[in-house]
Structures are given as structure tokens and as C-alpha cells.
Chains A and B, each alone.
Chain A
Amino acid sequence: MKEVDARGLSCPEPLMLTAEALKGASEPVKVLVTEPHQKTNVEKYAKDHGKKSTAVEKDGYFEVVIE
């Protein structure tokens, strides 16, 4: 699984890195972010691009898996 570690990065970097990782990706992409609004943004980006996402809160960050 491809992993994007965007923890602690400022907007819009997490979304830019997610978009880059999703380009032509055939496997699921795991995105790690710190802020709740970044988690929402990543989920929304996935939905807007016809992908499913599931988010889990970990210790001080969120893990969003997009497939």
C-alpha cells in the first residue's frame, strides 16, 4: 500500500501529496494527517474523485485509507 505521511504539514500540502499519490494508483493509498480538517479534506477529495475512504484516529493523528 502506498503511504503518504502528511503529518504536521500545512494546507494545502496534505491534499497536494494525496492527489499526487492517487494519480494512476492501482493500489490503496494510506494518508496520515494531524489536523481534523485535513482528514475531512482528504476524505472529501477521495469522494469527489469517486473513491472510498475510511479514517481511523490514531495516537495524535489520523490514518485515511483511500481505495
Chain B
Amino acid sequence: MNLSDSKKKLALAGVVCGIVAALLAYFGNPANMAFCIACFIRDTAGALGMHQAEAVQYARPEIIGLVLGSFLISVATKEYRSTAGSSPMIRFVLGMIIMIGALVFLGCPLRMVIRMSAGDLNAWVALIGFILGIATGVFALKKGFSLGRAYITNKESGAVISVIVLGILILALFTTLLKSSETGPGSMHAPVILALIGGLVFGAFAQKSRMCFAGSIRDIILMKNFDLFCVIAGLFVVMLVFNVATGRFVLAFDTPGIIAHSEHLWNILGMYTVGFAAVLAGGCPLRQLILAGQGSSDAAMTVVGMFVGAALCHNLGLAASGTALDAKTQEVVAGAVPLNGKVACIICIILLFVIAFTNKRESKA
């Protein structure tokens, strides 16, 4: 099965993933979060007690399904490769940076597209930052940026992340050890079995189609190649139809319930950080989970970095708050990025420039 050899097949993969996201939103996942990688890693980090934000703690079966779906399909189609050794600690830091940028904006690139399909104009503003961040990463690549080679390792090493997420699934299903939100976004979720199957299907299709939100724009800028963009377009169209059909499409800023804020500069800088870091890491948060599932311990380090980044965001008060209705006064309270989050975002951007222009490719490839 090869889904990446024609634009039609790629768009079809996007449509399938869009349907999965729409179904999960319909069956209980938070509105317009549907299948946000950053949000769901943050929730899972909360379930493990890595942070204490009570509203966002839940072991999301989608994240588990994505990694396992990628692992199973890559083993079945002989694409599983256990590799490691390409600057793992820099990739760990990039994972942290991706998560800090994502939680300043309030979502990963996948959620940005989902929010765009719901008419959230903040996400369209953030797209500017995302594109600029990717363009900066492409500039670094052209200047010779590289994190070096990965090497083949023992088969077992590449499977560790899949075993870990399987362990989290077992703990979530059969014990009461993990934390689970009683109110807030963490308490809103589709039935476990649906979320798990959704994650497995999404993971398998994402693995076969090479779906990557940063890669799609990177390839357009770098090589005028629109292949990966077809996947994103397919997903966007399905979510747009779903949002319009279910009355969830509201073209506006400051829409309560969407979990977003209208601090334009920080929406731009948050996604600038994510776009830049994702190009340096070789893929968006979704792609990191998929690569980790198919055996890359380097991508697994980025995933671990995202978990730690999510925990830091809530433990140190870096994450933005979303615009919401005050239950008592029924007034709209605007969401905002706290000062700590703004400072962290700037530090992340400086770090990205240091990483981008100090890691060079070997002169002879």
C-alpha cells in the first residue's frame, strides 16, 4: 500500500484523517480540538502527574493510537527501522520548544488547521507566523543546517516508545493510578474505544501518506512541491464541511468555547516558534509521533521533549488561556498569554536561531 505516490491518494488520506477528527469531535472531544497533538500530549502528561493543571489531565487514547498505528503499519509493510543517534538532546530541546510555542498559541499545526476550518480568525493570523517560521527553517537548511546522521540500532530500541504508550493504555484502562479531569477540556472526550480506533486509523494513514503540517509548507517553499499540501487540504475540507453542517462554523475572533485567544502578536510568534522548530526537527508534532512509532528513537526524544515542555508550560505558568464566558456574569473574558509565556517564547526563538546556525552538515555528504 503506497499512499504517497499520487496527489489524489494523498488527498484521500487527508479526507480519511479529517473524518476521524470530525467523528471524534462529534462523539465528545472538545470543540475544535478534535485531534490536537499538542493538547492531547499535554492532557496525557497531566494524567501521568507531570503537571497539576486539573482541567487538562486525561490519557488520550488518540496519542497512544497514533504511535501504535504507525508502529503496526510500519511493521506490516516492512517500513519499521530502528534508528537513533542524530543529535538526540537537541531534538529533546526542540520538542520542548515546539510545545511551548504551541501552548502560547493554544494548539499544534493540526489544531490550527482545525480552528481555521471552524472560522477562527486567530488561527488564520497564526498561519502567518507558522509560514514565516517554516521559511526561517528552510533558510537554515539552505545554509547547511543538519542534526547529523541517525544509525541503525537494535530492533527493540525503536519499539520502546510503542511499549511505553501501550503501558499507559493498560494503566488507563485497568487501574485508577492515572489522573483524569472532572471538569474542563480534559473531561471532554469521545468513548475510549472510538478514540483508540480513531488514533490507530489516523496513525496508519499518516504513516503511509507521510502527513506533515510543517513539511507541506516546507516542500512548497523549498521545492514548489504541493504533494504533502494535498493531505492537509483534504483534512481541511472535511473539517470545514463538518463545522458548517453542524453549525460550529463561526467566522470571528474571540469566540468563547473555541479555546483560543486574540493576542495577535503572540499567536504569530507562538506558531512561528512551532514552524521553525518543526522544520529543524524534521516534522510537525504529528509527524514526530509517527516517526517515533516507526522506530526512530530520535523522534521519540522529540516526543519526550514535548511531554516535558507541556509539563513546564503548566508548572511555570507559560500556557495561554482561552477566551471564555464567565459562568456567573455571562460576560466574555478575553484569553491571554501570561508574561512568563511571552518571555519563554522569546527565549525559545533565540535558542532556535542558535540551534539553526550552529549545527552544520558534514562538508562532504
Binding site for B on A (CB under 8 A): 4-13, 15-17, 19, 34-37, 40, 44, 60
Contacts and interface: CB of A to CB of B under 8 A. Distances in A.
Given A6-B365, A8-B149, A37 B141 contact: no
Interface string B237-276: 0000000000000000000000000000000000000000
Given A34-B81, A34-B150, A34-B152, A11 B5 contact: no
A8 B282 contact: no
Contacts, number: 61
A12 to B, nearest CB: 6
B4 interface: yes
A60 B152 contact: yes
Contacts of B223: 12, 15, 19
Interface residues of B, number: 31
Interface in B197-247: 210, 215, 218-219, 222-223, 227
A47 B5 CA distance: 11
Interface of B: 2, 4-5, 78-79, 81, 83, 85-86, 141-142, 146-152, 210, 215, 218-219, 222-223, 227, 281-283, 298, 361, 365
A44 B83 contact: no
Contacts of A36: 78-79, 81
B86 A8 contact: yes
B85 A8 contact: yes
Contacts of A35: 79, 81
Contacts of A40: 2, 4-5
B83 A34 contact: yes
Contacts of B142: 16
Contacts of B219: 12
A5 B79 contact: no
